[in-house]
Structure 1
Amino acid sequence: MKGSVNEAGKCIRKFNRGHRRAFSVPNASGDRTRIEAREWIAKNYIARFQPYTPEKTVDELMKTVTYISNGLPVMVPVSEDDDADLTVKINEEDVLPNEENSKGGARVAIRRIWEARWKATNFELLPEWLQDNEYLRTGHRPPLPSFGSCFKSIFSLHTETGNIWTHMYGCVAFIGAAAWFLTRPSTLVQSEDKIVFGTYFVGAVACLGLSFAFHTVQCHSAGVGKLFSKLDYTGITLLIVGSFIPWIYYGFYCRLVPMIVYLTMISVLGVAAVIVSLWDKFAQPYYRPLRAVIFIAMGLSSVVPALDILINDGISYLLNEASLFWFILMGILYIAGAVLYVTRTPEKCFPGRFDLW
């Protein structure tokens, strides 16, 4: 470990990845903290995640070392450029051993070294809380326990890259569309129309924005991943409710009582879906089918107001004035997305071929 002093008087460490151990400079007592990479500890550490064949274990172990400091293991994949220098900023108090910060400082040092050179890993090497889809075999981000590293990872290629960028672009596009629509003069768009369509824009931006955030910080930690998973499903619920409100409002424009009834119905269903989404167990992979069923059920609830229009206003009004075709198309797209999600298509049919895209 090479040292230099920055303008604040802090020691900046430069850890050579080809070496297997490094030491801090001695403190006043002459003590030094050691950061050591030891290959065989990795065997037991990997085995705790998921057992697999000895042949594969040996192969994976040859590509992995573990940085150890004060008994804290962190997995670091070894690459061909392992002899290159890696510059990591570590404050002196983070590595000097003392009673107050010996454990916390070690965690900081290990985390900064780890985050500086993480690489995508295989499904088997992930901790259990990150093992969501076993059909995506490679290209997973390892745990990145800082939000800065999570957001930096959006510029890397991994299993969440496509999800992150498509949701981010969609969110920005809807923000732009909402800003354009809501700033139209009242001579072109009346205030009540802005309110009605505003609910849809809020749902779309919330859905795409929360989904972008979830796919970005999912690998931060088990707690953060679970929290943003709940927010992700909450955003989906808001989008479905926001999609229904304009159709119900204009479809029952001349019948106030049914309009209020159906707006109340979809709002109550939305609140129920949000409550279920915030349930801890709901975010677990085991409940993937239940999640899809709840959102599909919300979509199918539109059959009731559609039948009401058909019975009271006729097929012509339903097709032309109530825009049944576009409403059905919206429902088909929502249901198709839920089916692809719960069946994990196409990666289930071709494991390993759709890891990145």
Structure 2
Amino acid sequence: MARNPVKWGITTRSVMFAVGVHLLFLLAIGVSLNFSPHFIKAGSPAPAVQATVVTEEELKAELARINEKELEKQREEERRQAELERIREEARQLEEQRKAEQARLEQVEKERVAEEKRRQEAEQKRIAEEKLKAEAERKRKVEEQKALELEKKREAEQERLKQIELEKKQRAEEQRKKEEAERKKEEAERKAREAEERKQEAERQRRLEEERRAKEEAERKRKEAEERERREEEARRVAEEARLKQQLEQEETRQNAVSALESMVGLIRQKVTRNWIRPANVRSGLNVVIQVRLTRSGEVVSADIVQSSGDERFDDSALRAVLKASPLPFPTDPKYYEFIRTFNFRFNPEG
């Protein structure tokens, strides 16, 4: 066990103080002897003993001085210990502040990472939306340009026909019928041509619309497939978690069932032994392993030898004892039954 440095120092100083008091006490009674060996002649006066007398005031002053020095040392030690304790407390508080600051910085970093992730996802979504808008705007401008070109062609064609018509009117009347026939023919051709152009434009628009719808349908199916795959994956994950949980629960139940059965093996052996009749001339020390199948109430459904003792009479007597001992002690918890309804039982009447 570690010594308290303050108490140890105080105890040591107390011993030194006590020794000093005893020395002063010896001085106080005036003992100052010279023990040098010498011979005294007969008739000579006895030599005088030199003694020094310390007054009570001097003794008290010396004691007070020593006591004050000891008290000052004790107070200095207490101040030193208090300073050490203050330094330790400051160090502990600084360590707690450091840990708190570290935890705060870690939380700030986590929040920053999460915010950056959200920002990137939003930026990606915005870019995708802008691409879709740009593509739609490009298609719209293409369609507008095509419509303008068609309109210009139509106007140019009309202008050309008007010019032809004016030129026809300027021709001689005798050629009017011929020119009229030609005009009608050209008009018919123009209408047929315009009709064909309109037909082709309508076909082109139809194809564009079909392509647009096909793209939309493909995108919808893709999203549906992704969502379906996500749901299926989630369902598989949930099913796997449920399967593992059920497997763990079953294993735990099986272990509990085995433990419960093992706790009753002694009772089963006692009951079977009570119902066992030793066959004549059967040697001692035999044992046999019997596979026993029970109902929920412990009734023996079947009993079969899985490891013979080598003596058929002993084996048969053990089987009869098991059947006769029915019902056997058996755990009552219904969820244990499926795990231990069939078990191996080693019968050793002397064991």
Alignment TM-score, normalising by the size of structure 1: 0.17
Alignment TM-score, normalising by the size of structure 2: 0.17
Larger RCO (alpha carbons 8 Å, 6+ apart): 1
Q: Which has the higher helix share?
A: 2
